[in-house]
Amino acid sequence: MIQKEVSMNIAIWIVIALVCFVLPATSLTDGGKRNPERSKLNQHAVQVGLPLPEHLMLPVAERIRRRQRGMASGGTIGIVVATLIYIIFFDNDDGAVGFLVLFVAAMGTALGGAWAIISHRPTEHIHRPVVARVRSVQFSDYLTRGERFGLWVVPATLVAGAAAGIVILLQLPEDQRSGAFVTASTVTVLALLAWAMSMYALRKVLDAPARSETDLELAWDDAERADSLRQVANLIIVVAAAALLFWLLFIGVALTTDGFYRDHEQATMVLSIVSLLVFGALFGVLSAGPLKAWLSGARRGYEQRQLWPHGVDS
């Protein structure tokens, strides 16, 4: 009976991960299984902000299919890996399966799309290949200043959050903070490792080769790269925010365990206010840039304004 409940619990979170991450990210091509419908492809072109003449329909569709196929594969592999990790290393009733499946599924989806770009080797049999750019592309050509700021401050916010969490928890008796240091610190270390791995993937996406017959086709390559870079960057920012949230949750648990807050009301109030202020400020530093880029619309078509400031001929 218990095993059946565990299986149902895992199955529910797998469905949630598919609905939240994998299916929305790959809906245009049904997980890379087919070319997009023409009406949807035209709508996608409007969202991207690039013209899509008839002769580019198939090349662009193939680019989109390839990346979304990688995203679907990465998300599925992530769900399988998360399930195996949970079954092997975690207790059946510890409630960790939800976070684990969602986190690994999101990472697999984003990194799978990046890998599809990194691993692709364009054919050399192009009649009229575009000449190389006069300069090499950088993160600043694809991600806005705010998005780059959010990405670069991830290590600093994680270290600052861990330091603040340790100092706050040290104000409590040892029996109140039992296990919190190790668990929360482990989450922080994993988030730092995820950041390092993501930065490697981002650099590889920038370095991936591209060969196109026209400037417009190359501009579509740029649009696909921008989407891939943004997905990975946003993912790692969310992971860092989740790691900070873990510290805040552990502090809350430590303050409420065995009714500690009832016997030490003043200390609980002071530590609660300090925790909310400190971690609220770190959340703000981490998310302000990406949120501003999203709310202002600055990220839409950003790579085109950077790389194709004079427009692209059809």
Q: Give which of 139, 144, 300 is closest to 204, Cα–Cα.
A: 139
pLDDT in tens, 162-220: 999 999 988 887 777 777 778 888 889 988 998 999 999 999 998 887 777 788 888 89
Helix 145-152 crosses helix 265-296 at what angle (to 10 degrees)? 140
Query: Span 220-241, mean pLDDT?
Result: 90
Q: Identify the pLDDT of residue 1.
A: 47
Answer yes or no: is pLDDT of 5 > 90.
no
pLDDT exceeds 50 at position 2: no
**Could you tell me the CA-to-CA distances from 105 to 10, 44, 150, 168, 296 in Å, in that order?**
13, 24, 22, 32, 29
**Residue with the larger pLDDT of the pair 240 and 21:** 240
- Are 287 and 150 in contact, with CB atoms under 8 Å apart? yes
Output the pLDDT for position 133: 61
* Residue showing tokens 């609220």: 280
Using the predicted structure, report yes or no on whether residue 310 has a pLDDT greater than 70: yes
pLDDT (0 to 100) of residue 7? 61
* pLDDT of residue 248 exceeding 50: yes
* Mean pLDDT, range 226-253, rounded to an integer: 89
pLDDT of residue 125: 58
H or E element in which residue 110 lies: helix 97-119
pLDDT of residue 134: 56
- Quote the pLDDT of residue 129: 58
Q: What is the DSSP string of 151-181?
A: HHTHHHHHHHHHHHHHHHHTTS-GGGSTTHH
pLDDT tens digits, one per residue of 122-165: 766 556 555 556 567 899 999 999 999 999 999 999 999 999 99
pLDDT for res 203: 92
Nearest residue to 158 via CA among 242, 234, 90: 242
Tell me the pLDDT tens digit for each residue of 11-31.
Answer: 888 888 888 888 888 888 988
Taking only the tens place, the pLDDT of each residue in 26-82 is 888 988 888 888 888 889 888 888 999 988 898 889 989 999 999 999 999 988 888
pLDDT at 92 over 70: no
- Whole-number pLDDT of residue 186: 84
**Segment 236-252 mean pLDDT:** 89
Asked if pLDDT for residue 237 goes beyond 60, the answer is yes
Q: Is the pLDDT of residue 224 over 50?
A: yes
pLDDT at 94 over 70: no
